[in-house]
Amino acid sequence: MKAAGPAKAKRVIFLFMAGAPSHLELFDYKPALEKWNGKPPPEELVKGYRAAFINPNAALLGPKFKFARHGQSGAELSELLPRLAEVVDDIAIVKSMHTDAFNHAPGQILMSTGTQQFGRPSVGAWATYGLGAESQDLPAFVVFSTGAKGPSGGSSNWGAGFLPSVYQGVLFRSIGDPVLYLSNPKGVDQQIQRDSLDTLSRLNQKHLDLVGDPEISTRINSFELAYRMQLTAPELMDISRESKQTLEMYGAEPGKGSFANACLLARRLVERGVRFVEIFHEAWDQHGNLKKDIAKNCEVTDRPCAALIKDLKQRGMLDDTLVIWGGEFGRTPMVQGGDDGRDHHPNCFTMWLAGGGVKRGVTIGESDEFGFNATTDKVHVHDLHATILRLLGFDHTKLTYRFQGRDFRLTDVEGEIVEKLLA
């Protein structure tokens, strides 16, 4: 276990691909699957295996897209990721992720909080609890949701759990006011707003002095933060201020809500001192129609993700901004939905990281010939969390909060630092 040292990362952007992307179509090419396409898996491979919705003995499904090697690192990527291929030497790919959950809500909550149980603080809340706020005019932890629906795990993915609620994520919209009712109604000017808040603050402070409830302090702070955001948010949300070249690089369009806009706003937020930005894109649950839908998902996300890496690097921000990409688990090598879908799969999936002290241009871990089990340099979700905290400068065993008589931490179950990820 590597001891904690000086922080490499000052801020985090987590691109959460909710719904679980298929590693077998994007990162983990398996020639054996082509040879075994349409055949049942070897009996020893699925012995004792529990699938979410399919018979584990369902026929194997060959990869749907071509792969090629890219960059000086020679990392192998799907043809669906041409933009990521341009920055592949700036990222670290982890092909040996595994988890304990094989349904969406538990898997997302585990990835977000370190446990499948509701009520624990999210990794973003732990990060802001440990690092504190850098901006006085914006929340320390901001969340976007850009898929057709919100994440299956709901707001618990960015909740504060038993930490003071000041550390919870604030859900932003990607166009207009970032939060509802931020603008004053007609007839209420800035002075009236200030006078009203001062009166509320005095009343809340009296109540706080009387009962000592820390949530009252959070309420006071949230009112004041909202007031300051009224002055800063319009400029922040106006991506038309960006150059034409930057907008084209992301594929962002002012006035429209999109994953591309959220990625550009993430850069604008961390540039202004926000500690943790998380974008949930719930779109990757391809039980059927895999070939068409995963191509559509990559068309939406590949360009902005790569643009974010390029943009941060050009601005000299990548070295201290940790970018994380991945979902809650992977997909089965076996087919579902006729001949064009894959079921949930916890034994092996792929994520990538960039910046913030992460080694560049490396691929870590391997899976077996079918992409079924992680086999080399296995990385559990707890290991990922321990490594994230290490990159932020924390010993994950010592970043704790006392609740109901004992000290809790993000990696409540043991996690190991992934040394091969550290630059």
Mean pLDDT taken over the chain: 92
Residue in the block written with tokens 């850069």 = 267
Is the pLDDT reported for residue 292 higher than 80?
A: yes
Give CA–CA dist 353/47, Å, rounded.
33
CATH fold of the domain at 11-178+239-421: Alkaline Phosphatase, subunit A (3.40.720)
Report, as an integer, the average pLDDT of 7-15: 92
Give residue 233's pLDDT band: very low, low, confident or very high (50, 70, 90). confident
Report, as an integer, the average pLDDT of 43-64: 92
44-48, 130-134, 193-197, 275-279 — most confident range: 275-279
Burial (CB count within 10 angstroms: exposed 0-12, middle 13-18, buried 19+), residue 397: middle
**CA distances (Å), 217 to each of 110, 276, 329, in order?**
29, 22, 38
Report, as an integer, the average pLDDT of 105-119: 96
Residue in the block written with tokens 């038993």 = 162
Question: Quick one: pLDDT at residue 285?
Answer: 97
Is the pLDDT reported for residue 227 higher than 80?
A: no
Give CA–CA dist 348/326, Å, rounded.
12
- Measured in whole angstroms, how far is the alpha carbon of residue 160 from the centre of its chain? 16
Least reliable range by pLDDT among 48-52, 178-182, 237-241, 282-286: 178-182
68 by DSSP, 3-state: which? strand
Give residue 192's pLDDT band: very low, low, confident or very high (50, 70, 90). confident
Is the pLDDT reported for residue 44 higher than 90?
A: yes
Give CA–CA dist 345/103, Å, rounded.
9
Is the pLDDT reported for residue 333 higher than 60?
A: yes
Is the pLDDT reported for residue 2 higher than 50?
A: no
Residue 77 · residue 67 · CB < 8 Å: yes
The amino acid at residue 187 is G
Query: Other CB atoms closer than 10 Å to residue 14's CB: what's the count?
Result: 26
Give CA–CA dist 235/254, Å, rounded.
13
Give CA–CA dist 128/182, Å, rounded.
23
**CA distances (Å), 153 to each of 48, 65, 158, 169, 209, in order?**
27, 30, 10, 14, 36
Is the pLDDT reported for residue 188 higher than 70?
A: no
Ordered by start, the domain boundaries in the chain are: 11-178+239-421
More reliable by pLDDT, 4 or 9: 9
Give CA–CA dist 413/264, Å, rounded.
35
Is the pLDDT reported for residue 3 higher than 60?
A: no
DSSP 164: -
Question: Quick one: pLDDT at residue 1?
Answer: 32
Is the pLDDT reported for residue 380 higher than 80?
A: yes
Give CA–CA dist 423/415, Å, rounded.
19
b/e per residue, 218-237, with b = 16+ CB within 10 A? bbbeeeebbbebbeebeebb
Give CA–CA dist 383/133, Å, rounded.
26
Give residue 124's pLDDT band: very low, low, confident or very high (50, 70, 90). very high
Percent of the chain with pLDDT over 70: 94
Is the pLDDT reported for residue 4 higher than 70?
A: no
**Distance spanning both ends of the chain, measured CA to CA:** 16
Give CA–CA dist 260/374, Å, rounded.
32
Is the pLDDT reported for residue 29 higher than 90?
A: yes
pLDDT tens figures, 394-422: 999 999 999 999 999 999 899 999 999 99
Give residue 6's pLDDT band: very low, low, confident or very high (50, 70, 90). low
Helix extents (H) in 141-289: 190-211, 214-237, 244-250, 259-271
DSSP 132: -
Give residue 277's pLDDT band: very low, low, confident or very high (50, 70, 90). very high
Residue in the block written with tokens 């009343």 = 203
The amino acid at residue 368 is D
Least reliable range by pLDDT among 76-90, 211-225, 306-320, 338-352: 211-225
The amino acid at residue 115 is T
Question: Quick one: pLDDT at residue 305?
Answer: 98
Radius of gyration of the chain (CA): 22
CA-wise closest residue to 228 among 200, 258, 197: 197
Least reliable range by pLDDT among 136-140, 213-217, 293-297: 213-217
Report, as an integer, the average pLDDT of 65-91: 98
